[in-house]
Amino acid sequence: MTDPDTRPTKQIRFYQAGSFAVGNRLLSPDERTVQARTERSNTLTSGHRACQGCGEALGARYALDAAMRATDGQLIATNATGCLEVFSTPYPESSWQMPWIHSLFGNAPAVATGVAAALKAKGRTDVRVVGQGGDGGTLDIGFACLSGMFERNDDVLFICYDNEAYMNTGVQRSGATPPAARTSTTKPVGEEPGNVFGQGKNAPLIAMAHEIPYVATATVAELRDLEEKVTRAMAIRGARYLHVFVPCPLGWGAASHDTIRLARLVKETGLFPVFEARDGEVTEVSKIRRRVPVEEYLVLQRRYAHLFKPKRNEAVLTRLQEMADRNIRRYGLLPEGGEAAGLPGDAGAAAGLEEVRAAVAGEAAVRPTPGPGLLRTIAGAPRGLR
Amino acid sequence: MLEQLEGSQAVARTVALCRPEVICAYPISPQTHIVEALSDIVRSGELAPCEFINVESEFAAMSVAIGASATGARAYTATASQGLLYMAEALYNASGLGLPIVMTIANRAIGAPINIWNDHSDSMSQRDSGWIQLYAETNQEAADLHVQAFRLAEEVSLPVMVCMDGFILTHAVERIDLPRAEQVDAFLPSFEPRQVLDPAEPVSIGAMVGPEAFMEVRYLAHAKQMQALDLIPQIADEFEAAFGRASGGLLRRYRSDDAETIVVALGSVLGTIEDVVDELREQGMSIGAVGLKAFRPFPLEEVRAALGHAKRVVVLEKALAVGIGGIVSANVRLALSGIQLHGSTVVAGLGGRPITAASLHGLFTRAAADELGPLEFLDLDWDSVEQELRRMRESTRSGPHAENMLRDVGTVASRSH
Could you tell me which chain A residue has the CA closest to the CA of B42? Answer: A121
Average pLDDT taken over every residue of chain B: 97
Exposed / middle / buried, residue A151 (Cβ in 10 Å: 0-12, 13-18, 19+): middle
Residues of A in contact with B20 (CB under 8 A): none
Q: How many CB pairs under 8 A join A and B?
A: 157
Per-residue pLDDT averaged across B166-194, rounded? Answer: 97
pTM for this structure? 0.91
CB contact under 8 A, B202 and A97: yes
User: A48: pLDDT confidence band, cut at 50, 70 and 90?
Assistant: very high
Of A98, A104, A147, nearest to B93 by CB-CB distance is A104
Of B60, B68, B209, nearest to A115 by CB-CB distance is B68
User: A30: pLDDT confidence band, cut at 50, 70 and 90?
Assistant: confident
Residue B69 sits at the chain A interface (C-beta within 8 Å): yes
CB contact under 8 A, B53 and A74: no
Q: Residue A281 pLDDT > 80, yes or no?
A: yes
Residue B59 sits at the chain A interface (C-beta within 8 Å): yes
What is the CA angle A222-A225-A230, rounded to 5? 125
Q: Residue B65 pLDDT > 50, yes or no?
A: yes
Residues of A in contact with B91 (CB under 8 A): none
Q: Which of residues 359-378 of B touch A (CB under 8 A)?
A: none
Residues of A in contact with B202 (CB under 8 A): 96-100
Q: Residue B318 pLDDT > 70, yes or no?
A: yes
Closest C-alpha to B268, from B179, B178, B171, B345: B171
Exposed / middle / buried, residue B344 (Cβ in 10 Å: 0-12, 13-18, 19+): buried
Provide the pLDDT for residue A369.
Answer: 37
Of A91, A122, A144, nearest to B56 by CB-CB distance is A144
Per-residue pLDDT averaged across B237-255, rounded? Answer: 98
Exposed / middle / buried, residue A223 (Cβ in 10 Å: 0-12, 13-18, 19+): buried
Residues of B in contact with A98 (CB under 8 A): 199, 202
Helix A314-331 to helix A372-379 angle, to the nearest 10 degrees?
Answer: 20
What is the CA angle B29-B34-B38, rounded to 5? 140
Residue B73 sits at the chain A interface (C-beta within 8 Å): yes
- What is the value of ipTM here, to two decimals? 0.96
Angstrom distance (rounded) from CA A31 to CA B335: 71
Provide the pLDDT for residue A350.
Answer: 35
Q: Residue B104 pLDDT > 60, yes or no?
A: yes
Q: What tens digit of pLDDT does each residue of A176-215 get? A: 999 999 999 999 998 888 999 988 899 999 999 999 999 9
Cβ atoms A101, A78 nearer than 8 A: yes
Per-residue pLDDT averaged across A294-300, rounded? Answer: 98
CB contact under 8 A, B199 and A102: no
DSSP B50: -
Provide the pLDDT for residue A353.
Answer: 39
Q: Which candidate in A75, A103, A105 is best for mutational testing of the B interface (most B CBs within 10 A)?
A: A103
Q: Residue A348 pLDDT > 80, yes or no?
A: no
Residues of A in contact with B64 (CB under 8 A): 110-111, 113-114, 117
Residues of B in contact with A130 (CB under 8 A): none
Bridge partners of A75, per DSSP, are A128
Amino acid at site A376: R
Distance from CA of B48 to the nearest CA of A (A): 8
Q: Which residues of A fall below an 8 Å CB-CB distance to B?
A: 73-76, 78-79, 85-86, 89-91, 94, 96-104, 106-107, 110-123, 127, 144-145, 147-148, 151-152, 154
Mind spelling out the 3-state secondary structure of B150-191?
A: HHHHHHHCCCEEEEEECCCCCCCEEEEECCCHHHHHHHCCCC
Angstrom distance (rounded) from CA A14 to CA A351: 10
Distances (CA, A) of B267 to A333, B90, B317, B344: 65, 25, 10, 19
Per-residue pLDDT averaged across A136-163, rounded? Answer: 98
Could you tell me which chain A residue has the CA closest to the CA of B89? Answer: A104
User: How many CA atoms lie within 13 Å of B288's alpha carbon, on the beta-carbon side?
Assistant: 16
Angstrom distance (rounded) from CA B111 to CA A174: 30
CB contact under 8 A, A97 and B209: no
3-state helix, strand, coil in chain A (%, to 5): 40, 10, 50
Beta-carbon contacts of residue A18 (< 8 Å; ≥ 6 apart): A344, A345
CB contact under 8 A, A73 and B199: yes
Residues of A in contact with B87 (CB under 8 A): none
Provide the pLDDT for residue A383.
Answer: 33
Distances (CA, A) of A311 to A190, A315, A317, A338, A369: 15, 12, 12, 34, 14
Of B49, B67, B203, nearest to A115 by CB-CB distance is B67
Residue B97 sits at the chain A interface (C-beta within 8 Å): yes
